Amino acid sequence: MPYINKPSGRFGYSPEIAMASRGVSPNWAEEWIWYEPSTMAHDDMFQRLEETTPLLVGGTLTQQWRLLPADAVHITAAATARAQARLDGWARTRNYDGVLSLATYANSAVPRFAAEAARGIELRDATWAKLYEILTAVQAGERPMPRTWAALEQELPPLIWPDAAAA
């Protein structure tokens, strides 16, 4: 649970460690305040939170945050994780464990499974090719990064099953 040490103003998540490293004061109960952890709504792909010193507001200690832009490494990692989750979620709509599992049906003797696998492999490859094209262009300064995951996702291929695509 988050805490703040009143005399020092230090805050963190493990007062037991802080107290053990400095020795337990006879007034420890008056020196420490524990508070409920909180967070701040933000787009975790493009923004990051940095915890700042908690404030005592109306007798209640309140966790405080500073919203900062995410760096390129974080944005790239978040974009790739979301793209993978998007592919896996789509595969799960047909009861596959994920897109990797779906791809293993490429040589299935069951025509439906083979067709779904072929489509999954096609969309997996197209998704990664497009995402890396976008990220490379952004890193080269050739284009801006889309400002939201929804905007980035709009540039990725639509995930449509073969029977739905034929309809």
Contacts of 135 (CB under 8 A, 6+ apart): 76, 79
* Encoded tokens for 51: 């915890």
Cα–Cα dist 167/139, whole Å: 39
pLDDT at 138 over 90: yes
Q: Which pLDDT score, from 0 to 100, does residue 44 have?
A: 84
Assign 107 a pLDDT band (cuts: 50, 70, 90): very high
Query: Torsion-angle region of residue 76: left (phi > 0), alpha (psi -120 to 50) or beta?
Result: alpha
87, 98 Cβ separation under 8 angstroms: yes
Cα–Cα dist 166/18, whole Å: 63
Q: Which pLDDT score, from 0 to 100, does residue 135 have?
A: 96
Q: What is the pLDDT of residues 56-102, one digit of tens each?
A: 777 777 778 899 998 889 999 999 999 999 999 999 999 999 999 99
Span 44-53, mean pLDDT? Answer: 86
pLDDT at 20 over 60: no
161, 136 Cβ separation under 8 angstroms: no
Q: What is the pLDDT of residues 146-155, one digit of tens each?
A: 989 999 999 9
Span 9-33, mean pLDDT? Answer: 58
